[in-house]
Amino acid sequence: MKKISLLLLCCATLSQQKSMAGGFKVALQGQKQTGMASVGVGYAQDAATIYFNPAGLSFVNNQINAGGNLLFPSTSFFEKGTNTVYHTASQSFTPFSLYGSCNVSKSIKFGMGLYTPFGTGVKYPTDWSGRYILHQINLQTIFAQPTLSWKISDHFSLGAGLIYAYGNVLLEKDIPVTSDKGDAVANAQLKGKGHGFGFNAGAYLKATDNLSIGLTYHSRVNMNVNDGKATFSNIPAGLTSTFPPSNTFSTQLALPGEVDFGFSYKIVQDLTVAVDFNHTFWSSYDSLGFNYAVNTSAVTDNKSPRLYENASCIRFGAQYAASKNISVRAGLFFDQTPVRDGYVSPELPDNNKTGLTAGATFKLDQSFVFDISLLYENVASRTQKNIETGLDGTFQTRVIAPGIGLTYLFNRSSKTTIK
Amino acid sequence: MKKVTYILYTAGVMMTLFSCKPNLKQNPVSSGTADFSRYVAIGNSLTSGYADGALYKDGQVNSYPNMLATQFRQAGGGDFNIPYMDAGGGNDGSGTPRRILGYVMPCNSTTPTISPILDPAGFTALNNVAAGGPYNMVGVPGARAIDATFPLYSAFNPFLQRFCQTPGTSTLLSEALRVNPTFFTLFLGSNDVLLYATGGAVPPTNQFSPTISDPAAVQAALTMMVDSLTKTGAKGAIANVPDVTSIPYFTTIPWNGVVLTQGKADTLNALYAGNSLPGITWHAGANGFMIVDSSAGLTNGFMRHATASDYILLTTPGDSLSCGMWGVYPNKPLKDQYVLDAVEALAVSNATQLYNSSIASIASNYNIAHVDINALLKTLKSGFIYNGVTFNASFVTGGAFSLDGVHPNPRGYSFIANEFIKAINTKYKSTLPLVNTIQFNGVIFP
Considering only CB atoms, which chain B residues are within 8 Å of A320?
Answer: 7
| A389-404 pLDDT per residue, tens | 999 999 999 999 999 9
Q: A412 pLDDT exceeds 60?
A: no
A77 Cβ contact partners less than 8 Å away, ≥ 6 residues apart = A85, A86, A124, A128, A129, A130, A346, A349, A393, A394, A395, B24
B164 vs A358, B79, B138, B155, CA distance in Å?
72, 18, 9, 10
A129 vs A77, A343, B355, B437, CA distance in Å?
9, 17, 36, 8
Considering only CB atoms, which chain A residues are within 8 Å of B445?
Answer: 177-180, 236, 238-239
Confidence class for position A101, pLDDT limits 50, 70, 90: very high
Question: Is there a contact between B19 and A84 if contact means CB atoms under 8 Å apart?
Answer: no
Residue A106's region, left for phi above 0, alpha for psi from -120 to 50, else beta, is: alpha
| B25-52 pLDDT per residue, tens | 777 899 999 999 999 999 999 999 999 9
Considering only CB atoms, which chain B residues are within 8 Å of A394?
Answer: 24
Kind of pairing, strands A246-255 and B285-287? unpaired
Can you tell me the distance from the alpha carbon of B409 to that of B442, in angstroms, rounded to the nearest whole number? 6
Mean pLDDT of chain B: 91
Q: B99 pLDDT exceeds 60?
A: yes
Considering only CB atoms, which chain A residues are within 8 Å of B70?
Answer: none
Across the interface, which of B10, B29, B445 has its CB nearest the CB of A238?
B445
More reliable by pLDDT, B294 or A251: A251
| A302-343 pLDDT per residue, tens | 888 999 999 999 999 999 999 999 999 999 999 999 999 999
Across the interface, which of B8, B29, B436 has its CB nearest the CB of A360?
B8
Across the interface, which of A8, A330, A397 has its CB nearest the CB of B22?
A397
Question: Is there a contact between A176 and B444 if contact means CB atoms under 8 Å apart?
Answer: no
- The confidence score (pLDDT) of residue B6 equals 67
Can you tell me the distance from the alpha carbon of A390 to that of B200, in angstroms, rounded to the nearest whole number? 37
- The confidence score (pLDDT) of residue B206 equals 65
| A121-178 pLDDT per residue, tens | 899 999 899 999 999 999 999 999 999 999 999 999 999 999 999 999 999 999 988 8
Domain ranges, ordered by start, for chain B: 39-245+342-439, 258-305+307-340
Q: B244 pLDDT exceeds 80?
A: yes
- Which neighbouring-strand residues pair with A345? A348
Q: A415 pLDDT exceeds 60?
A: no
Across the interface, which of B18, B114, B384 has its CB nearest the CB of A390?
B384
CB atoms within 10 A of CB A165: 20
Give me the mean pLDDT over the A224-242 stretch. 90
| B387-407 pLDDT per residue, tens | 999 999 999 999 999 999 999
- The confidence score (pLDDT) of residue B4 equals 64
Q: Which CATH architecture has domain B39-245+342-439?
A: 3-Layer(aba) Sandwich (3.40)
| A280-308 pLDDT per residue, tens | 999 999 888 999 999 998 888 988 899 99
For residue B81, the distance in angstroms to the closest alpha carbon of chain A comes to 25
Question: Is there a contact between A83 and B29 if contact means CB atoms under 8 Å apart?
Answer: yes
Confidence class for position A9, pLDDT limits 50, 70, 90: very low
Nearest CA in chain A to B384: A390
- The confidence score (pLDDT) of residue B298 equals 86
- The confidence score (pLDDT) of residue B443 equals 86
Question: Is there a contact between B434 and A81 if contact means CB atoms under 8 Å apart?
Answer: yes
Number of C-alpha atoms within 13 angstroms, CB side, residue A189? 11
| A18-49 pLDDT per residue, tens | 223 356 888 899 999 999 999 999 999 999 99
| A78-96 pLDDT per residue, tens | 999 988 899 998 888 899 9
Q: Which CATH architecture has domain A2-409?
A: Beta Barrel (2.40)
Can you tell me the distance from the alpha carbon of B173 to that of B301, in angstroms, rounded to the nearest whole number? 49
Residue B276 burial (C-beta neighbours within 10 Å; 0-12, 13-18, 19+): exposed
Q: Is the dihedral of CA A38, A43, A47, A50 positive or negative?
A: positive
Considering only CB atoms, which chain B residues are within 8 Å of A398?
Answer: 18-22
Mean pLDDT of chain A: 89
